[in-house]
């Protein structure tokens, strides 16, 4: 019968549409490929399609000329020369003053009586004010840790782990004047090594027997302030590095900073207000000049 569409062909027109869409999609992809250009060096440049009624088109930038490349290289060389010049000036920068001001900023550096940190290992000296006349509590060739500047609270000071406020107070061996009943019998070294800021310790004795642990050939029995990290050794009472990496550093970075000590009429030891520069007490973590 005319005008009737066979049932089996009902979807034929609808089926044609996806085919057409697929064809259009393929055409779009082809156009996109045509609008894509590979420049030298692998850079991909996509040219946008013209829109109806528009005459604009994308023009890729030209590659750099040899003159532009040469100019860029000259700028880079000048940059390297500038950096090298700055680095060459680094040794002449007053780092000591900078570090001194940084470390001392905000700290209450005033004259202060010397009090030993309250550690049980110090026995009778723990938490005590140091008196130069007391050779029993503070015998020659002994050492203790002190805190400066102190907070006024002995417990807080003892618990403070900031090595930049810690010092090793040493009563010198008898042969170095440790029997004297005045401030000259003592020295107080910073607990910050001038090499890499580890914490040195005083080693008062050395075994006489070469077979004992800790024996080092040709090493004095006394007069050693030693850093356990890298082996820097400072002599006593000067505080100048005589061995290890700190001894290889140029002055003033080869001597440990110190505190200036005094004793009153009753024999109590005090710390005078320091002058934190390389010509006086030194710069913590940096060093000082040792008077010859």
Which of helix, strand or coil describes residue 285?
Answer: coil
Cα separation, 41 vs 147, in Å, equals 66
Quick check: is 28 in a domain?
no
Mean pLDDT of 42-64: 59
- Between strands 201-203 and 186-190, the pairing is unpaired
Quick check: is 104 in a domain?
no
Least confident of 6-10, 89-93, 159-163, 199-203: 6-10
212-247 in b/e form (b: 16+ CB < 10 A) is eeeeeeeeeebbbbbbeeeebbbbbbbbbbbbbbbb
Quick check: is 43 in a domain?
no
* pLDDT value, residue 128: 98
What is the enclosing helix (H) or strand (E) of 146?
A: strand 142-147
* pLDDT value, residue 74: 84
Q: Which residue has better confidence, 150 or 90?
A: 150
- Encode pLDDT of 129-181 as tens digits: 999 999 999 999 999 999 999 999 999 999 999 999 999 999 999 989 999 99
Cα separation, 189 vs 145, in Å, equals 10
Q: At 28, is the pLDDT very low, low, confident or very high (cuts 50, 70, 90)?
A: low
Report whether 112 contacts 251 (CB < 8 A): no
The number of distinct structural domains making up the chain is 1
Nearest to 232 by CA among 250, 214, 255: 255
Quick check: is 243 in a domain?
yes
Candidate ranges 19-28, 34-43, 169-178; pick with highest mean pLDDT: 169-178
Cα separation, 277 vs 98, in Å, equals 10
Sign of CA dihedral 208, 209, 212, 217: positive
Q: Which residue has better confidence, 50 or 66?
A: 66
Sign of CA dihedral 85, 88, 94, 96: positive
* pLDDT value, residue 224: 87
Mean pLDDT of 100-104: 52
* pLDDT value, residue 5: 46
Q: Which residue has the tokens 């010049």?
A: 85
Quick check: is 81 in a domain?
no
Q: Kindly list the distances between the CA atom of residue 261 and the CA atoms of 36, 280, 286, in Å, as whole numbers in the listed order.
A: 82, 13, 21
CATH number where 200 lies = 2.102.10.10
* pLDDT value, residue 20: 46
Report whether 242 contacts 251 (CB < 8 A): no
Cis amide bond preceding 252, omega within 30: yes
Least confident of 105-114, 194-203, 266-275: 105-114
Quick check: is 263 in a domain?
yes
Q: At 188, is the pLDDT very low, low, confident or very high (cuts 50, 70, 90)?
A: very high
Residues 119/120/124/128 CA torsion (nearest 10 deg): 20
Cα separation, 42 vs 161, in Å, equals 59
Quick check: is 188 in a domain?
yes
* pLDDT value, residue 58: 64
Mean pLDDT of 111-134: 97
Cα separation, 227 vs 246, in Å, equals 10
Q: Which domain holds residue 267?
A: 110-206+219-271
DSSP code of residue 42: S
Cα separation, 266 vs 247, in Å, equals 39
Q: Which residue has the tokens 């090793």?
A: 168
Indicate whether 101 pLDDT > 90: no
Indicate whether 7 pLDDT > 60: no
- Encode pLDDT of 204-237 as tens digits: 875 555 665 555 666 656 578 999 999 999 999 9
Quick check: is 169 in a domain?
yes
Residues 218/222/228/230 CA torsion (nearest 10 deg): -40
* pLDDT value, residue 290: 95
């Amino acid at each position: 019968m005319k005008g009737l569409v066979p049932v089996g062909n009902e979807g034929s027109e609808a089926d044609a549409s996806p085919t057409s869409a697929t064809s259009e999609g393929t055409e779009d992809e082809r156009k996109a490929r045509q609008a894509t250009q590979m420049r030298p060096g692998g850079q991909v440049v996509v040219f946008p399609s013209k829109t109806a009624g528009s005459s604009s088109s994308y023009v890729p930038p030209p590659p750099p000329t040899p003159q532009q490349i040469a100019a860029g290289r000259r700028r880079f060389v000048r940059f390297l020369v500038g950096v090298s010049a700055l680095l060459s000036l680094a040794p002449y920068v007053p780092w000591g003053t900078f570090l001194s001001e940084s470390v001392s900023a905000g700290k209450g550096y005033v004259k202060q009586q010397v009090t030993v940190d309250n550690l049980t290992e110090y026995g009778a000296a723990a938490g005590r004010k140091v008196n130069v006349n007391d050779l029993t509590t503070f015998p020659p060739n002994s050492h203790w840790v002190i805190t400066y500047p102190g907070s006024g609270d002995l417990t807080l000071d003892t618990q403070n782990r900031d090595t930049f406020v810690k010092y090793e107070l040493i009563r010198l061996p008898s042969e170095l004047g440790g029997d004297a009943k005045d401030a000259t019998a003592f020295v107080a070294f910073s607990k910050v090594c001038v090499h890499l800021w580890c914490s040195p310790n005083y080693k008062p004795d050395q075994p006489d027997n070469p077979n004992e642990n800790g024996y080092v050939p040709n090493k004095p029995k006394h007069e050693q302030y030693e850093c356990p990290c890298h082996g820097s050794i400072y002599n006593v009472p000067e505080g100048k590095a005589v061995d290890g990496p700190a001894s290889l550093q140029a002055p003033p970075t080869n001597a440990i900073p110190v505190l200036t000590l005094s004793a009153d009429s009753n024999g109590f030891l005090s710390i005078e207000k320091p002058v934190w520069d390389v010509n006086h007490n030194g710069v913590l973590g940096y060093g000082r000049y040792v008077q010859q």
